[in-house]
Amino acid sequence: MHYTVGQIAEALGVTAEGDQSLEVSGVSEPQTASASQIALAMKPEFASRIGDGQARVAMLWNGADWRGMGLSAALMAPRPRFALSGLSGMMDLGQGYGDGIHPSAFVDETAEIGEGVSIGPMSVVMAGARIGAGSVVGPQCFVGQDVVLGTEALLHTGVKLMARVRIGARFVAHPGAVVGGDGFSFVTPEPSGVEKARASLGEEGNETAQPWARIASLGAVTVGDDVEMGCNACIDRGTVRDTQVGNGVKMDNLVQIGHNVVIGDDTMVCAGGAVAGSSVLGRNVVVGGCAGISDNLKIGDRVILGGGTMVLSNVPEGRVMLGYPAMKMDSHVESYKGLRRLPRLFRDVADLKKAVSKLTSND
């Protein structure tokens, strides 16, 4: 695909400088850009490498001296990284999924397939499923019984949507994502060691071994519009009511969302993040990489959890949290500074003990 600089500027709503008739067909880092690619030089330190490549056009920040960089044209944006969102979409070549329903796919006769839907090789669409217009179901996907999938969805290879899941428009799921697997719900005949440990704060634990009985997941999963799931991310179905994911939620690879969880609009869960059963996350929450949220907690709107944070209690809205157990970020940083000072403190105390010992022996 080829675009002129002027076409790109109009599509992205940014300013074009120089020769707007120049055609480009891709993007690259400045030092490796060819003459037909846009150099992504969104910071001065990146722009310093433009001379190492052959780019004639670059994506730059407002006010950048593009002529001094030896360029023929430039795309100028107040927030270049945000402009990159649209530019990358224009340049994406896609995965090459074909049109129509592949002969090797199985589609139940009672399934409702919208106009322009693509279903790839070896995929399965079960009875009563409904797939919205313009959606793409890639190879080896599974769309379960009575699933509702909204318009313009994109299921990459190997995505599984289990029975009765309901998903809104423009859903994107990357390879291996699963929506609607059973929740991890088990119970013992008598109070378990885990229950005793929680009630006693660890003073009591397992006394006798007990078998685990499985609790079936009777609920499903409800997902809003414009949700994206990364590779091998999972959302468990609810025990009785549905697990709920709001509009605009983004999940990275290997994210785990437990049964009965409720996630508010525009929340982001980064790689390896996990939310245990029945917790409620507000709007615009950010869960950093490998952060975890214990069960039955409430996380307020606009909370930010740094990478590796482990949340064991409710968090009020607007807080920035870090550490294990999670605490306000400034408090955690002060604690970490204190921890780093401990070796010096131990040495100082040892020196003081020696000094006091000498004074005592002289007496």
Domain boundaries, the chain: 3-91, 328-362
State yes or no: pLDDT of 357 exceeds 90.
no
Q: What is the CATH number of domain 3-91?
A: 3.40.1390.10
Is 174 in the active site? no
d(CA 34, CA 36): 5
Summarize the confidence of residues 297-318 as an average pLDDT.
97
- CA torsion, points 265, 271, 272, 274, in degrees to nearest 10? -10
**What is the residue whose two structure tokens read 């005949």?**
189
Looking at every residue in the chain, the average pLDDT score rounds to: 94
Q: What is the pLDDT of residues 222-247, one digit of tens each?
A: 999 999 999 999 999 999 999 999 99
Tens digit of pLDDT for each residue in 96-129? 999 999 999 999 999 999 999 999 999 999 999 9
- CA-only gyration radius of the chain, Å: 27
Integer Cα distance of 119 and 105 in angstroms: 7
The percent helix, strand, coil of the chain (3-state, each to 5) is: 20, 25, 55
Surface-to-core class of residue 135, CB atoms within 10 Å of its CB (0-12 exposed, 13-18 middle, 19+ buried): buried
- Please, are residues 164 and 183 in contact by the beta-carbon 8 Å criterion? no
pLDDT of amino acid 19: 95
- What is the pTM (predicted TM-score) of this model? 0.88
225 CB-side CA count, 13 A = 4
CA distances from 193 to 10, 35, 215, 276, 279 (A): 63, 66, 18, 19, 22
Q: Report the candidate in 306, 308, 265 with the shortest Cα–Cα distance to residue 286.
A: 306
- Mean pLDDT across the stretch 312-336? 89
User: How crowded is residue 86: how many other Cβ atoms within 10 Å of its Cβ?
Assistant: 15
* The pLDDT of residue 313 is above 90: yes
- Of residues 361 and 14, more confidence is placed in 14
Q: Is pLDDT of 75 > 70? A: yes
- Going by pLDDT thresholds of 50, 70 and 90, the confidence category of residue 156 is very high
Which two structure tokens, joined as six digits, stand for 219?
């609920």
